[in-house]
Amino acid sequence: DPPDDPLPNGSNCFLNSQCLSEYCSPQNLCDDEPEPPDPGNYTIVLTVGDSHVFGQLNGSTGLNYPFGFRKRLQQEMLPVVVNMVGNRKINPTSSATFDVDHAGVGGETTAQINARVPNLIANYLSPSTCANTVVVLEGGYNGLTTTEPAMSQQIQELVIAIQRFHAFCPDMPVIFMNLKPHATNVPAVSRDRIPIYNAALLTVMS
């Protein structure tokens, strides 16, 4: 039950209603609720990850999914027209409507994705535009395991990548993506592992 007198910031809590600030943080402490970012401020987007950033070309799977989720992302941000940045202009190579730039490489592990982050920061981000930039980070399908410590290391690679982005731009949002639960182009053995990986990923990120 909520206490008779709301608890001040810094107090242990389990419910928002227990706090004078009306916000119980993920760390179970009363705190000031962070202001949600103004989506109108973000005009630069760097998408980093594996084939789920890249999308799917016709191949052994028979799937053709140009842009991956990148077209939907740009559609959702309208009327703001965003500048998508990255070192790749493929799938598709051009578009009259949407920006094709990205940093998705099919088949990469989280370690390989993380290894590319310093170069992406150096070439596609700027301190002068941090306030207008958001990073979307995804990875984990390739080499997916639920065996420890391998799974923890996979997730740690994403944590290090986020820390690298925040070291360059402390206030720049980095949105991490969990894995699609029913990805049809992922082997069945990996699909069974996805819920376990997602649960561990969300625990670490929270």
* pLDDT, one tens digit for every residue, the chain (206 residues): 556 789 999 999 999 989 999 999 888 999 998 776 565 688 999 999 998 899 877 655 556 678 888 999 999 888 889 999 999 999 899 999 999 999 999 899 999 999 999 999 999 999 999 989 999 999 998 888 889 999 999 999 999 999 999 999 998 999 999 888 765 666 677 778 899 999 999 999 98
Q: What whole-number distance in Å separates Cα of residue 161 and Cα of residue 115?
A: 8
User: Taking the C-alpha atoms of 45, 46, 48 and 52 in order, what is their torsion angle to the nearest 10 degrees?
Assistant: 40
Name the DSSP class of 88.
Answer: B
Q: What whole-number distance in Å separates Cα of residue 155 and Cα of residue 145?
A: 11
Q: Are 204 and 159 in contact (CB under 8 A)?
A: yes
If 0-12 CB within 10 Å is exposed, 13-18 middle and 19+ buried, where does residue 31 land? middle
Please tell me the pTM assigned to this model.
0.77
